[in-house]
Chains A and B, each alone.
Chain A
Amino acid sequence: MRKLINTPFSEDENKNQGVVHTSKRHESAERQVQGSANYVDDIVEPQGTLYAAVGLSQCAKGTINSINLNAVRESEGVVDVVTIEDVPGHKDIGPVFEGDPLLANGEVKFFGQPVFAVLATSVTLARQAALKGEINVTEVAPVLSADEAHRQQTFVRPLHKFGQHSERVDDAFANATHHASGSLSIGGQEHMYLEGQVSLAIPDEEDRMKIYTSSQHPSEVQKLVAEVLDVKLHRVMVDMRRMGGGFGGKETQAAQWACIAALLAHRNNCAVKLRLPRFTDMHVTGKRHPFENSFDIAFDSTGKINATRMTINGICGHSPDLSDAIVDRAMFHADNGYFLGDSDITGHRLQTNMVSHTAYRGFGGPQGMIMAEAMMDKIARAIGSDPLSVRKRNLYGPTTGTTTPYGMEIEHNLLPEMIGELEESAHYWQRREAISAFNRESPVIKKGIALTPVKFGISFTAKHLNQAGALVHIYTDGSIQVNHGGTEMGQGLHTKIGQIAANEFGVELDMIEVTATRTDKVPNTSPTAASSGTDLNGKAVQNACITLKARLSECFAKSLDQEAKAGDVQFSNGYVALGEHRIRFPELVQQAYFARVSLSSSGFYKTPKLQYNRDTGEGRPFFYFAYGVSMSEVSIDTLTGEYTVDKVNVIHDVGNSLNPAIDIGQIEGAFIQGMGWLTTEDLKWNENGKLISENMATYKIPAIGDTPKEFNVKLFGRKNAEDSIYHSKAVGEPPFMLAISVWCALKDAISSLSGYTIDPQLDTPATPERVLNAVAAIQQADSRGGGA
């Protein structure tokens, strides 16, 4: 560059005030409302782009004898057809352990498993051709239930136990005055990201490949594409601007489509797009794990737990995928916020002939946590106490204990204070009384209420994933481009990252451009998952900014002959200042450029304090916990099982919020998604192992009318005691589990029919049918003169 750009100048010193901790709009909001925010399927296609589709198995288990693809090849518009035999490199794309062949490899493992892929001149022609494959299979009876998996001892991974002392547990059970046990069947969940899985592969010179994908884990897509094509990683570049929703469903599940598109693109030397239609997406991508869990508890007359035994059974589908960590996380959250006494927690990873279940917001945590809440309800009905009193009685603290079943000390427990605040501000006890009065007068409609807490551990439990990188460029007009390893799926990560960078440099938000996530800018990144996106990448970006600020400070101090004072340089309101001297940020940047100072830096971060020993089942897997409390009030119709969620009050802990509007959006959205998981979202497989809730007509996520009429969400506003980015806390997953209060409130309403003596069995999702069955069970117990 010979001559630099003139930097426009506006003398508004207040503009930068509060660029963090304020409700800045989502960086893409204006483009989203105009339809000009591009998703993968919206990218202008290269000339000659062809379209792929996958052909699926029509049984759940068996050995493939032959695959006749003649009719596929002869179908109109077909250009190429591939099977596993056509893969030049690795045939398995399992993310952690082997078990996920790119296309069926000699055997069928679930109904709807991709067996071949076809390339054609249009999307419709490719999909039509994909229906014409003849796959000859010698079928074997599939394993489709937890019981059957236990009977046949089919596991995707060995069991895991927390390191506790089973003799002490036995003693505690022997000595306790009260015992209870229970089991719960917990349904899975379809992610139902509105944008389905999609990838566009564009071949480059020789064996290089460029991939546009809707993925939470571009680095893994890069690695798997390289392995499948048998090239080095540096030959593959993955670009990910935004997803139309992820929720965990694009953490490992996006890679297969990118790999198939890349394989076809490589073979045919043309751009290939593979976009799954919804009816395929739902069959071929993993879901939240269904679980079948059970507990035994020993407690005293006040409801305080002395000992706990719990068996956690994650139904993993056909392969390990991420199930090891998911069942671990279910175990890590089986205590929720409660001290379980002497405990014995075992987690099984059951292999079934279903699609391989995968990451989903909460990552097993919800399926563990709901057991803790089930136990609280069980105790409350057994001793005739209000469930809230039992919950408070068992919280971690001086009167119970402060060590988790996995040996981690609870240091900054916010729950007692948060529960107290919500109980008071949302009038739990007054409403409890009003509900009892209502229920006495109302024979058909019954109301219920519940207040439940959430304590959710923040960090990947796979320690090495707790690292992040960033790359920050400053251009000579003072504008700043930020790249980092996190991906934007709607959660507002890029907005928060922009706020962090703007705050560091003391410039306005519009000086920051957060770009698409690209594997050639920041390498070897972790998935955007575990709620960690801002914690990890925010710190990495901050560190890059700190490096650049040090260089600029030095440059500025030097120009003032005050080199010793470089550490005192301040960046704020668009200026850089040292003592009485100040300079506009872009001017200093230009000065630095002429002084031959590097204006680009990477940044790196790794989470401190983590140590978990999987052999002993003890340690500190989490940097900190995020907390929340919610109170839900419901009405049920005892004639039909229909219900409504009438009022919801939430107080949630996000530390020092980086962006209150975005955080509240995460909390509300997570709550409703959690409510859907526990109420209407009903995955059903038929006896052949075929998913029959296979489209949006048969699988019902919450619609707008399901929004509670009163829905009040408040941020707790306490800064994170740990040194997280500006002392904020992660928010993606924790609030999902606030919705457990809806399930407990439904049970409370049903329990009212027994005078609160029976804890109803209510498996999830608690569909109207399940609610009606639970009502009928209590009415029958009642007519037999039964009680608890």
Chain B
Amino acid sequence: MIRFLINNDIVEINEARADLTLLQFIREHRKQTGTKEGCAAGDCGACTVVLTEPVTTNNGTKLHYRTVNSCITLMSAVHGKQLIFVEHLSDGKHLHPVQQALVEHHGSQCGFCTPGFIMSMFALYHSDSKPDRDDVLHALSGNLCRCTGYRPIIDATMAVCESAPNDKFTAAQEKTLATLKSLERTAPTGTGNIHTPSSREELKALIAAYPDAQLVAGSTDLSLQFTQQLKKVDTLISLTHIDALKQRTKNEHSIVFGAALPLSDVAPDLLGSFPQVAELVTRFASLPIRNQATIGGNVANASPIGDMPPLLLALNATLHLDNGNEKRTVPISAFFTGYRETQLAHGEWISAIEIPLKQSNQVLAAYKISKRFEDDISAVCAVFNVTIEDGKIEAISSGFGGVAATPITSSALESALIGKQFSSKECLNLGKQILFDAFSPIDDVRATAEYRKTVLANLWHRFWLEHQSVSKIETRVVQHA
């Protein structure tokens, strides 16, 4: 059974296919057609809906509004949450402020993307602080519009977010929180053939009972198997209701992220410790995807073009693996064994990811190169983490995506440059030469092998330029926080 709120109504689902998406549920089961399907792959945002859940901070408990792409969200993800979609916003007589703003700014043309934009605007409208233009772009980064050119949408969003949220949802917050609290008391038991364990032990038992079941966390990649490839899915086991997989801890040596934490929950702490990697974190897919996709999922998926593995490689992260009986740790550099193959044994899962904290003598940068700046997959991703003592290189760890069959590091870079003066031209040129030859990337739809090799070398050039103490050379067309 999965229990959740649709707007203000408690809904229970006892029977649903594992591969039923939230969008299908809304359009086909509930016959609410305001939410649109544009791509069924999480790339366009026409299907954006909002899930709210209680979040407790120092200022008390309040509702947190998150956008998700309903086309790749499974029903297990909505348990215990409030689902809000476009039909819920106006009160029948008056438009919601975000709707009013978009109308007044002439922000809809064909209107097909509009409900998705409205929901992203609505979630941003309920954020804690007044957004600036960049915040608006980030919040709407997962919504494509083919008609307007976006300018009126940006203006409308900026305008409506000038004032603090004041709508029927704010007014009903206490009641909604209380209802959600009452839902929380029931652990989900899954529906049909999607199972939702809430403990390590249950997870172990379910894996034993369904040895062929796939494990799923954010479902942002796995869903494509049935929405795009039309594969039939028998049984899924969801990892997102196990509290132990969603913990964050930090001590003086390291920071540990539960594997089932969505990237948008990982981001604040990760960027708190490693502000230098903002480019990768903020350009990882789009906000709705980051609201769903988990850090563990991005690692376990072992895609050669995922953006987290290169970062974790360069940061020398350690993976905590578990099978319900015993736990072990594996350095991430040893985890990827082949194209989408890893050290995970059958029945084993990633429970947490531990990252050693940055030392003061380390310089760190993360770069992502793609055709489009936002919501695109890396043609090349490069992360450099160089330890420099008295101007000399003591250690280099690195991580690269898009250049090999797995996320990969370059030990040659380290062995060649260790002991070299970082500011030397030799260090620049040797590094470029090594990286140009380090890998044998492929030609594909995103880039040619030659471009990947050249850019990889040039990213070392950029890194070298950006970290010279005297250099004031501009190296970026887009600045990241």
- Whether B111 and A28, one on each chain, are in contact in the complex, defined by CB atoms closer than 8 angstroms, is yes
- Whether A695 and B43, one on each chain, are in contact in the complex, defined by CB atoms closer than 8 angstroms, is yes
Task: Annotate B370-397 by CB proximity to A: 1 below 8 A, 0 otherwise.
Answer: 0111111101000000000000000000
From B106, B230, B372, B476, A637 is in contact (CB under 8 Å) with: B476
Contacts known (A639-B475, A704-B154); A32 close to B43, Cβ less than 8 A: no
Min C-beta distance of A43 to chain B, whole Å: 9
Contacts known (A700-B371, A704-B141, A711-B151); A772 close to B455, Cβ less than 8 A: yes
- With A and B bound together, what is the CA distance between A701 and B39 in angstroms? 13
Given the complex, which residues of A lie within 8 Å of B171, measured CB to CB?
none
- Whether B95 and A30, one on each chain, are in contact in the complex, defined by CB atoms closer than 8 angstroms, is yes
- Whether B477 and A665, one on each chain, are in contact in the complex, defined by CB atoms closer than 8 angstroms, is no
Contacts known (A131-B230, A195-B36); A35 close to B112, Cβ less than 8 A: no
B369, CB-defined interface residue at 8 Å = yes
- With A and B bound together, what is the CA distance between A198 and B320 in angstroms? 48
- With A and B bound together, what is the CA distance between A696 and B41 in angstroms? 8
- Whether B111 and A37, one on each chain, are in contact in the complex, defined by CB atoms closer than 8 angstroms, is yes
- Whether A665 and B110, one on each chain, are in contact in the complex, defined by CB atoms closer than 8 angstroms, is no
B143, CB-defined interface residue at 8 Å = yes
Chain A residue with Cβ nearest B103: A29
- With A and B bound together, what is the CA distance between A684 and B448 in angstroms? 12
B62, CB-defined interface residue at 8 Å = no
- Whether B476 and A25, one on each chain, are in contact in the complex, defined by CB atoms closer than 8 angstroms, is no
A534, CB-defined interface residue at 8 Å = no
Task: Annotate B134-162 by CB proximity to A: 1 below 8 A, 0 otherwise.
Answer: 00110011011111111111100000000
- Whether B475 and A490, one on each chain, are in contact in the complex, defined by CB atoms closer than 8 angstroms, is no
Q: Which of A169-177, A241-249, A756-764 lies at the interface with chain B?
A: A241-249
From A33, A191, A668, B118 is in contact (CB under 8 Å) with: A33
Given the complex, which residues of A lie within 8 Å of B43, measured CB to CB?
695-697
- Whether A490 and B149, one on each chain, are in contact in the complex, defined by CB atoms closer than 8 angstroms, is no
B63, CB-defined interface residue at 8 Å = no
- Whether A35 and B455, one on each chain, are in contact in the complex, defined by CB atoms closer than 8 angstroms, is no
Min C-beta distance of B201 to chain A, whole Å: 35
- Whether A669 and B147, one on each chain, are in contact in the complex, defined by CB atoms closer than 8 angstroms, is yes
Interface residues on B, range: 35 or more
- Whether B373 and A444, one on each chain, are in contact in the complex, defined by CB atoms closer than 8 angstroms, is no
B102, CB-defined interface residue at 8 Å = yes
- Whether A767 and B371, one on each chain, are in contact in the complex, defined by CB atoms closer than 8 angstroms, is yes
- Whether B110 and A489, one on each chain, are in contact in the complex, defined by CB atoms closer than 8 angstroms, is yes
Min C-beta distance of B312 to chain A, whole Å: 23
From B95, B137, B377, B447, A769 is in contact (CB under 8 Å) with: B447
A408, CB-defined interface residue at 8 Å = no
- Whether A26 and B445, one on each chain, are in contact in the complex, defined by CB atoms closer than 8 angstroms, is no
A42, CB-defined interface residue at 8 Å = yes
- Whether A704 and B112, one on each chain, are in contact in the complex, defined by CB atoms closer than 8 angstroms, is no
Interface residues in B460-481 (C-beta closer than 8 Å to A) = 461-462, 465, 473-478
B203, CB-defined interface residue at 8 Å = no
- Whether B376 and A700, one on each chain, are in contact in the complex, defined by CB atoms closer than 8 angstroms, is yes
From B232, B444, B459, A640 is in contact (CB under 8 Å) with: B459
Q: Which of B83-91, B210-218, B338-346 lies at the interface with chain A?
A: B83-91
- Whether A490 and B110, one on each chain, are in contact in the complex, defined by CB atoms closer than 8 angstroms, is yes
Task: Annotate A641-653 by CB proximity to B: 1 below 8 A, 0 otherwise.
Answer: 1111000000000
Min C-beta distance of A779 to chain B, whole Å: 12
- Whether A768 and B114, one on each chain, are in contact in the complex, defined by CB atoms closer than 8 angstroms, is no
Chain A residue with Cβ nearest B228: A279
- Whether A693 and B458, one on each chain, are in contact in the complex, defined by CB atoms closer than 8 angstroms, is no
- With A and B bound together, what is the CA distance between A430 and B103 in angstroms? 38
- Whether A704 and B455, one on each chain, are in contact in the complex, defined by CB atoms closer than 8 angstroms, is no
A492, CB-defined interface residue at 8 Å = yes
- Whether A671 and B149, one on each chain, are in contact in the complex, defined by CB atoms closer than 8 angstroms, is yes
Given the complex, which residues of A lie within 8 Å of B115, measured CB to CB?
32-33, 35
Given the complex, which residues of A lie within 8 Å of B361, measured CB to CB?
none
Min C-beta distance of B96 to chain A, whole Å: 8
Given the complex, which residues of B lie within 8 Å of A703, measured CB to CB?
141, 144, 372-375
- Whether B476 and A36, one on each chain, are in contact in the complex, defined by CB atoms closer than 8 angstroms, is no
- Whether B477 and A673, one on each chain, are in contact in the complex, defined by CB atoms closer than 8 angstroms, is no
- With A and B bound together, what is the CA distance between A755 and B314 in angstroms? 40
Residue with the greatest number of chain B CB neighbours at <10 A, chosen from A277, A639, A673: A639
- With A and B bound together, what is the CA distance between A244 and B116 in angstroms? 13
- Whether A672 and B149, one on each chain, are in contact in the complex, defined by CB atoms closer than 8 angstroms, is yes
Task: Annotate A435-473 by CB proximity to B: 1 below 8 A, 0 otherwise.
Answer: 000000011110000000000000000000000000000
Chain B residue with Cβ nearest A32: B111
Chain B residue with Cβ nearest A491: B109
Min C-beta distance of A139 to chain B, whole Å: 23
Interface residues in A625-677 (C-beta closer than 8 Å to B) = 635-637, 639-644, 661-662, 664-665, 668-673
B267, CB-defined interface residue at 8 Å = no
Contacts known (A195-B110, A696-B43, A704-B374); A35 close to B35, Cβ less than 8 A: yes
- With A and B bound together, what is the CA distance between A711 and B150 in angstroms? 11
A193, CB-defined interface residue at 8 Å = yes
From A194, A635, A772, B112 is in contact (CB under 8 Å) with: A194
Contacts known (A195-B36, A682-B371, A698-B445); A444 close to B465, Cβ less than 8 A: yes
- With A and B bound together, what is the CA distance between A697 and B46 in angstroms? 15
A783, CB-defined interface residue at 8 Å = no
- With A and B bound together, what is the CA distance between A61 and B476 in angstroms? 46
- Whether A701 and B144, one on each chain, are in contact in the complex, defined by CB atoms closer than 8 angstroms, is yes
- Whether B39 and A695, one on each chain, are in contact in the complex, defined by CB atoms closer than 8 angstroms, is yes
Given the complex, which residues of A lie within 8 Å of B102, measured CB to CB?
29, 33
B454, CB-defined interface residue at 8 Å = yes
- Whether A41 and B41, one on each chain, are in contact in the complex, defined by CB atoms closer than 8 angstroms, is no
B165, CB-defined interface residue at 8 Å = no
B34, CB-defined interface residue at 8 Å = yes
Given the complex, which residues of B lie within 8 Å of A670, measured CB to CB?
149
- With A and B bound together, what is the CA distance between A23 and B152 in angstroms? 14
From B133, B228, B477, A635 is in contact (CB under 8 Å) with: B477
Min C-beta distance of A271 to chain B, whole Å: 16
A47, CB-defined interface residue at 8 Å = no
- With A and B bound together, what is the CA distance between A42 and B34 in angstroms? 8
Given the complex, which residues of B lie within 8 Å of A591, measured CB to CB?
none
Contacts known (A39-B36, A665-B152, A668-B148); A642 close to B106, Cβ less than 8 A: no
- With A and B bound together, what is the CA distance between A664 and B155 in angstroms? 14
From A38, A680, A682, A704, B143 is in contact (CB under 8 Å) with: A704
- Whether B369 and A194, one on each chain, are in contact in the complex, defined by CB atoms closer than 8 angstroms, is no
Interface residues in A683-730 (C-beta closer than 8 Å to B) = 684, 692-693, 695-698, 700-707, 709, 711
Given the complex, which residues of B lie within 8 Å of A768, measured CB to CB?
369, 371, 379
- With A and B bound together, what is the CA distance between A780 and B311 in angstroms? 34
Min C-beta distance of A517 to chain B, whole Å: 15
- With A and B bound together, what is the CA distance between A35 and B35 in angstroms? 7
Contacts known (A444-B475, A695-B39); A705 close to B374, Cβ less than 8 A: yes
- With A and B bound together, what is the CA distance between A768 and B373 in angstroms? 11
A127, CB-defined interface residue at 8 Å = yes
- Whether A701 and B146, one on each chain, are in contact in the complex, defined by CB atoms closer than 8 angstroms, is yes
Interface residues in A728-777 (C-beta closer than 8 Å to B) = 767-769, 772-773, 776
Interface residues in A480-523 (C-beta closer than 8 Å to B) = 489-492
A128, CB-defined interface residue at 8 Å = yes
- With A and B bound together, what is the CA distance between A612 and B23 in angstroms? 52
Contacts known (A696-B43, A705-B373); A36 close to B149, Cβ less than 8 A: no
B99, CB-defined interface residue at 8 Å = yes
Min C-beta distance of A36 to chain B, whole Å: 7
**A-B contacts besides A682-B371, A695-B39, 12 pairs, CB < 8 Å:** A28-B108, A194-B46, A278-B41, A444-B462, A490-B112, A642-B477, A684-B445, A692-B444, A697-B377, A703-B372, A703-B373, A704-B153
**What are 25 sample pairs from A and B whose C-beta atoms fall under 8 A apart?**
A25-B104, A25-B106, A26-B108, A26-B109, A29-B108, A33-B103, A33-B114, A35-B35, A36-B87, A38-B33, A244-B36, A245-B146, A278-B40, A641-B451, A665-B106, A665-B109, A692-B445, A696-B44, A700-B372, A700-B376, A704-B150, A769-B447, A772-B454, A773-B451, A776-B454
Interface residues of B (CB under 8 A from A): 32-41, 43-44, 46, 85-87, 89-90, 95, 99, 102-104, 106, 108-115, 118, 133, 136-137, 140-141, 143-154, 228, 230, 232, 369, 371-377, 379, 444-448, 451, 454-455, 458-459, 461-462, 465, 473-478
